[in-house]
Amino acid sequence: MKTRLTWLLILMLALSAFWGCSDDDDDPITPPAATAFETMAAAGAAYINDSAQCPGVLAAATLHDNLDLYTVIDIRQEQHYLEGHIPGAYRSSLSTLIADLANIPNDKPYVVACYTGQSAGHAKVAMEMLGYGDVYSLLFGMSAWNTSLDNWTANCQDNLAVAETDNNNGDLTDQTMPTLTEDVGTVVAERTAAMLAAGFKGKNYNDIVDDLDLYFVINYFGEADYEGTGEAGVPGHIPAAFQYTPYASMGIDEMLPNIPSDMPVIVYCWTGQHSSQVTAYLNMLGYEAYSLKFGSNNLFYDDLEAHKWSVDAQNDFDLEMGYPATETFTTIATALLDYVNDSEDCPGVMSAVSLNDNLTSYTVIDIRQLEAYDAGHIDGAYHSSIATLKADVEGGTIPDNKPFVVACYTGQSAGHAKIALEMMGYDDTKSLLFGMSAWNTSLDNWTANCQNNLTTVETDNNNEDLVWNPYPTLEGETLDGRVATMLTDGFKAKTFADIEDYLDSYFIINYFGEADYLGEGDAGVPGHITGAYQFTPYASLDIDEMLGNIPHDVPVVVYCWTGQHSSQITAYLNMLGYEAYSLKFGSNGLFYDDLDAHKWSVSAQNDFPLIPTPVLVAGF
């Protein structure tokens, strides 16, 4: 929610109050013009020194119980976001935050989530500087949301072997402060953007322990704890560190002038949540500053009595996988999935014998090329094509008073037509099993393609390597429109020979059960194509299943036993915006001799009648 006053206005009010007015109206005192540094310092200090706003952390349990009241922004790396995030969270990063905010709703307070709550501090202070009020960072980050994401426990250590208790502040001197060259009117926005572009600035204690004299170290908690006499159990501080009291030390008229601009600065607090924001502020001012990762929890964890990470902060709240799908994508995927995951309807094939015995009960649509249809087709069959199917059926060229049976050469391209007809509302559509190859032996396109092309099979289960990917973006489209696009694009298929030398360039889906995929099933399958992933039929293609594991920036190949089923899955994926292809002839074109089931054989062939299209003779 963008509610905070502009920092330039705050600065003007502050300077006005500082300089006051002359009692002599004839000789008014004109306040000096603020420099860019003074403007940035006043803007940042107004936030950093506000205990009600900074660090502004929110516990995971509080967020979970009020999730609908907040907009969550997750700034972790994309793959970690995809592997599990807070339901409904928007994905961003420090470098893209400003641009992303334009596309993230601003009607609720924000919560920024990172791994441990530390880098989120950079994002929070940036949003505050840009005028977004009511911003929180998730306390302890995603480590507190779900135990599977714990990045804290391993980093709670006792790395500070010798703590110092002397107060070094007596050695502080005034230093030359940085010079900022930005325009006064834009310095806050420009320096905020520069800080975000530079990314999270943090260091581990072990990174600096051997070179402490090269750093200006700021201990950012109270004096008693700094000296080891407080109630938090702290034994002291990092040797040579200076004590800066929170909310009372970071202004120009406080201790900011004591920080050197010609050496790196380390800021540490209890957990790194607060020091991250102070560090971001210092970098906006032109210092080279770093937050000490995990703060005191990484220095003297066992001694701490407060401000301490513990398993009590952990939860096992739900995680949402992948990117949230767009409303359009979700609607279309759900409509398609009602069919794809229905084993009664999909693939919905009919044998040639069953069709021949009940021919008068069906309307047959033959989608082979016109020349093949004219040479001989099933009695009463109507000719169409994948490209013209929608127009032919909806335009009345093909009557719809009976259930449809779609016939092609081998039963494979008919799958594209069948799922399209189902989505158009023509329930009880069938595709002819093995196509016209099974109707009449003279049309056999199967036997020559039953081969053993897969010379090397893999039996490893590759599913452990699956990662989450963004879903394709379908905005403003309809199911009817996606059906039309898929049909216009035509049958999408490849032979194994097409992909054999380029397997690494494809995401390959093995669409049958795990046992057969591993070469341990009853169908005689020795394994799978190298690199293929196993997707269980009827249980793997929903948004909350494995659909999010399929990349939309890599071509997808789907294979099943005969290509009848994979054709429909391929069409489904293409309607959702993927670039998908069905592997022609499926396993029958990979390891035919090994198959004990789902296998083309001459027993599937028949010699049912073929009706040629009459040739019209001129004059008759």
Q: What residues are labeled active site? A: 114
If one counts every other C-beta atom within 10 angstroms of the C-beta of residue 248, the result is: 11
In eight-state DSSP terms, residue 316 is B
Q: Which two tokens stand for residue 36?
A: 């860019």
| Cβ atoms of residues 122 and 48 within 8 Å | no
Residue with tokens 């409904």: 88
Q: Which two tokens stand for residue 328?
A: 């359009």
Strand ranges (DSSP E) for 234-374?
Answer: 242-243, 265-268, 289-292, 349-350, 363-366
Q: Hey, what amino acid is at 311?
A: V
| Cβ atoms of residues 115 and 288 within 8 Å | no
- Burial of 154: CB neighbours in 10 Å, binned 0-12, 13-18, 19+: exposed
Sorted by sequence, the CB contacts under 8 Å of residue 284 that are 6+ apart come out as 40, 44, 129, 191, 192, 194, 195
| Cβ atoms of residues 574 and 489 within 8 Å | yes
Which strands sit side by side in the sheet containing 265-268, from one edge to the other? 202-203, 289-292, 265-268, 216-219, 242-243
Pairing state between β 382-383 and 363-366 = parallel
Distance, in Å, from the CA atom of 229 to the CA atom of 57, rounded to the nearest integer, reads 27
Which strands sit side by side in the sheet containing 71-74, from one edge to the other? 57-58, 135-138, 110-113, 71-74, 90-91
